[in-house]
């Protein structure tokens, strides 16, 4: 009898303790399905995937070692970060994708004009531009790649900056901070690479 | 007595849950508070350059660097590495173990065993450093005199692909980059 009472009390205590704990953590502190964190993770994953796609294309279309190394770096880093986004969503027990339009999670995303396509996210290359990149060769391809990737990185910085004021999750702020700083540094490097190639290349 | 026992159990469980719930989140902050003697350096630039960079620290802890990085997949080098490529490996989250001729040769073997095959680590000789052994990650550095220093393992586990990493997810593989 004593044992039963203790067991019942323990279970009750566990429930109470868990509830109190959840309350102290901010209640529903795990980001929800419509949260900025989940939206950022999903949209940034699509954004990163296109950077990886473009980096693979340029590795096929030029032998320039400087471009090859940069593309290799982008492929590995952004692919790994896609794994982090996916891991967050798993951890938060949320679906990996959503049927909501992209960028709805931002301050500007509520109401107003809705984006209908992922291609409308900041810095995304259009299907035509991707097609062009897949056909271009040599310096022409390098210039196109750098122009597209600089725009793409600027969009990535914009998206990472958009999530920062909307979250206190440290895993999100840490990665968003590194994306802002990292992609800005890569933009500066790519601007130099672009200027060098434009100086050499006369598309007469 | 029954209720008292239950009360104690309840108290213990609630406190445990509360302590667990109130612990800081597992995502680490870039900090060296836990390890004595770690020097930290901020405001490091990180553009690519083909020029040799004059780094203020020996070995360098960060800054502009070469477009390529040295393989840092638990790689033990016998030769001196180019600073610019080593710094790029630091940007990717690697810990760089360096040593001078003053390091005991047995110590060098101990360090090599700690690095060999371990992710996000590399090791090389470095003549122009003050201490016999130095551990470096992006923006942080620790000098030690011998390989038995407990802080070595602490440094390795804290900073290999740690929270100081400017480019989380970047690879240490360098075999097929171009």
Q: How confident is the model at residue A163 (pLDDT cuts 50, 70, 90)?
A: very high
What's the mean per-residue pLDDT of chain A?
A: 88
Q: How confident is the model at residue A110 (pLDDT cuts 50, 70, 90)?
A: low
Q: Angle, to 10 degrees, between the axis of helix A65-91 and the axis of helix A36-61?
A: 150
Chain A residues 170-189 with CB within 8 Å of chain B: 170-171, 174-175, 178, 181-182, 185, 188-189
Measured between beta carbons, which residues in chain B are less than 8 angstroms from residue A91?
none
Beta-carbon pairs below 8 A across chains A and B: 114
The nearest alpha carbon in chain B to A73 belongs to B170
CA separation for the pair B91, A65 (Å, rounded): 20
pLDDT given at position A200: 85
Does position A134 have pLDDT exceeding 60, yes or no?
A: yes
Pick out chain B residues at pLDDT < 50: 1, 8-10, 12-30
Q: Which residues contact A98 (CB under 8 A, 6 or more apart)?
A: A33, A38, A39, A42
Does position A40 have pLDDT exceeding 80, yes or no?
A: yes
Please state whether A111 falls in left (phi above 0), alpha (psi between -120 and 50) or beta. Answer: left
Query: Per DSSP, which regions of chain A are E strands?
Result: none
Measured between beta carbons, which residues in chain B are less than 8 angstroms from residue A24?
18, 21-22
Q: Contact at 8 Å (CB) between A24 and A89? A: no
A19 in contact with chain B, both atoms CB, cutoff 8 A: no
| Inter-chain CB proximity A170 and B46 less than 8 Å | no
Mean pLDDT, range A172-182, rounded to an integer: 97
Kindly report the pTM of this predicted structure. 0.78
- Kindly report the nearest CA distance between residue A163 and chain B, in angstroms: 18
| Inter-chain CB proximity B18 and A2 less than 8 Å | no
């Amino acid at each position: 009898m004593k044992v039963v009472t203790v067991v019942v009390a323990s279970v009750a205590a566990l429930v109470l303790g868990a509830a109190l704990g959840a309350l102290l953590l901010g209640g529903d502190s795990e980001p929800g399905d419509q949260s900025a964190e989940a939206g950022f993770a999903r949209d940034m994953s699509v954004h990163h995937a296109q950077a990886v796609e473009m980096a693979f294309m340029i590795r096929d279309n030029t032998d320039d070692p400087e471009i090859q190394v940069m593309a290799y770096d982008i492929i590995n880093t952004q692919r790994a970060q896609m794994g982090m986004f996916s891991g967050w969503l798993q951890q938060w027990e949320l679906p990996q994708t959503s049927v909501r339009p992209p960028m709805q999670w931002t301050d500007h995303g509520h109401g107003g004009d809705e984006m209908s396509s992922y291609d409308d996210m900041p810095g995304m290359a259009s299907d035509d531009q991707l097609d062009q990149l897949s056909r271009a060769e040599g310096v022409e391809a390098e210039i196109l790649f750098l122009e597209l990737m600089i725009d793409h990185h600027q969009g990535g910085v914009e998206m990472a900056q958009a999530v920062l004021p909307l979250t206190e999750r440290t895993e999100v702020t840490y990665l968003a901070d590194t994306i802002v700083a990292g992609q800005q540094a890569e933009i500066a490097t790519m601007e130099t690479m672009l200027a060098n190639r434009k100086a050499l290349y006369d598309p007469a | 007595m029954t209720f008292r026992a239950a009360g104690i159990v309840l108290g213990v469980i609630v406190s445990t849950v509360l302590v667990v719930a109130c612990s800081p989140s597992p995502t680490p902050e870039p900090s060296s508070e836990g390890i004595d003697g770690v020097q930290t350096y901020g405001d490091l630039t990180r553009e690519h350059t083909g020029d040799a960079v004059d780094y203020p620290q020996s070995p360098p802890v960060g800054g502009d660097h070469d477009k390529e990085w040295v393989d840092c997949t638990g790689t033990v080098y016998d030769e001196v590495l180019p600073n610019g490529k080593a710094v790029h490996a630091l940007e990717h989250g690697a810990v760089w173990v360096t040593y001078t001729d003053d390091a005991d040769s047995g110590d060098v073997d101990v360090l090599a065993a700690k690095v060999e095959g371990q992710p996000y680590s590399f090791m090389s000789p470095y003549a122009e450093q003050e201490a016999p052994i130095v551990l470096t990650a992006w923006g942080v550095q620790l000098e030690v005199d011998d390989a038995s220093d407990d802080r070595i393992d602490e440094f390795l586990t804290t900073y290999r692909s740690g929270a100081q990493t400017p480019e989380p997810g970047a690879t240490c593989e360098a075999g097929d980059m171009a």
